[in-house]
């Protein structure tokens, strides 16, 4: 059985939209790798909403979707930053593992919620999240 799960990432202190006089892009990265900008919030943070598919594989959750990266048991999403020029290398990527979203955590609240977590855009590499870092909203 496949379910869908709505996720929201709030990025505080996102990187600047220009770097060294050149336009830069920051956002949720798909597998292509295209970058999708977030919604600017009044406090300067960016909000990224996405929907992922969730499958039960032998009692463990597995995530899939256009924005989901990695192999079974190691799924994650990226917030990525680079110059907007074609073929530009990544300046940095923030790796957000989905492993803290366990069946037990999701069942504590029930279906139909948006699961939100917050990250700091000044960071790079893997963000280490616990189950309680994902909170239901709406």
Angle ∠(126,34,63) on CA atoms, nearest 5: 55
**Dihedral over Cα of 78, 8, 50, 81: its sign:** negative
- Mean pLDDT for back-to-back runs of 10 residues, the chain (138 residues): 87 95 96 95 98 88 95 94 92 95 80 90 90 89
Domain ranges of the chain: 2-137
Rounded to two decimals, the pTM is: 0.92
Measured in degrees and rounded to the nearest 5, phi and psi for residue 90 equal -70, 135
pLDDT value, residue 54: 93
Alpha-carbon span 13 to 60, nearest angstrom: 34
69-101 pLDDT, tens per residue? 999 889 999 999 999 988 899 999 999 999 999
The helix/strand/coil state of 71 is: coil
What average pLDDT does the chain have? 92
| Cβ pair 5, 51 in contact under 8 A | yes
pLDDT value, residue 59: 77
């Amino acid at each position: 059985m496949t379910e869908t799960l709505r996720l929201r990432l709030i990025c505080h202190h996102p990187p600047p939209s220009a770097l060294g006089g050149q336009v830069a892009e920051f956002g949720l990265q798909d597998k292509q790798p295209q970058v999708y900008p977030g919604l600017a919030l009044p406090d300067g943070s960016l909000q990224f909403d996405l929907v992922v598919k969730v499958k039960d594989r032998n009692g463990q959750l597995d995530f899939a979707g256009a924005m989901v990266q990695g192999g079974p048991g190691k799924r994650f999403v990226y917030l990525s930053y680079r110059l907007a020029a074609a073929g530009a290398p990544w300046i940095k990527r923030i790796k957000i593992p989905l492993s803290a979203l366990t069946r037990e955590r999701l069942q504590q609240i029930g279906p139909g919620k948006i699961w939100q977590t917050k990250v700091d855009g000044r960071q790079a590499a893997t963000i280490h999240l616990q189950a309680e870092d994902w909170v239901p909203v709406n």
